[in-house]
Amino acid sequence: MQYHIEVTIGLKDGMLDPEAATIRKALEHLGYPTVSLGLQKKFIIDLDEASSDEAYSKVDEMCKRLLANPVIHNYDIVIEESI
């Protein structure tokens, strides 16, 4: 079965994100003050696995070993069966 997976990775709550802070300031200069602004990275993966559970655990492993840095990141995995 083929699965379509979207992994969203972002900094853990409360961590300072200088890039987001800079973009927020630039938006403010353009006349768009914001209450908050965050940045996340999204990975789009298609995977052949026997089940959704197996696909999930494989992607979870990818996150732990490379895609995310567990010291500073949280991540979220969304899986759907490809049609």
Partner 1 sequence: MKIAVLQFGGSNCDYDVQYVLSEIIGVDTDLVWYKDELNGYDGVVIPGGFSYGDYLRAGAIAARTPIMNSIKRMAEEGLPVIGICNGFQVLVESGMLPGALMTNQYPKFRCQWVYLKVENNTSPFTREFKEGEIIRIPIAHMEGNYFADESVISGLNSRHRVAFRYVDPGGNATEEVNPNGSKQNIAGILNVQGNVLGMMPHPERASEEILGSKDGKKIFHSMIKYISSLVST
Residues that bind partner 1 (CB under 8 A): 15-19, 21-22, 65-67, 69, 71-72
- Which H helix or E strand runs over 22? helix 18-29
User: What is the nearest approach in angstroms of partner 1 to the Cβ of residue 44?
Assistant: 15
Nearer of residues 8 and 22 to partner 1, judged by Cβ = 22
DSSP-derived secondary structure letter, 51: S
Beta carbon of residue 16, minimum distance to partner 1 (angstroms, whole number): 7
Specify the residue, 68 or 77, whose C-beta has the smaller distance to partner 1. 68
Q: Output the six-digit token pair for 60.
A: 């979870």
Cα–Cα separations (whole angstroms), residue 2 to 8, 22, 30, 70: 20, 39, 44, 27
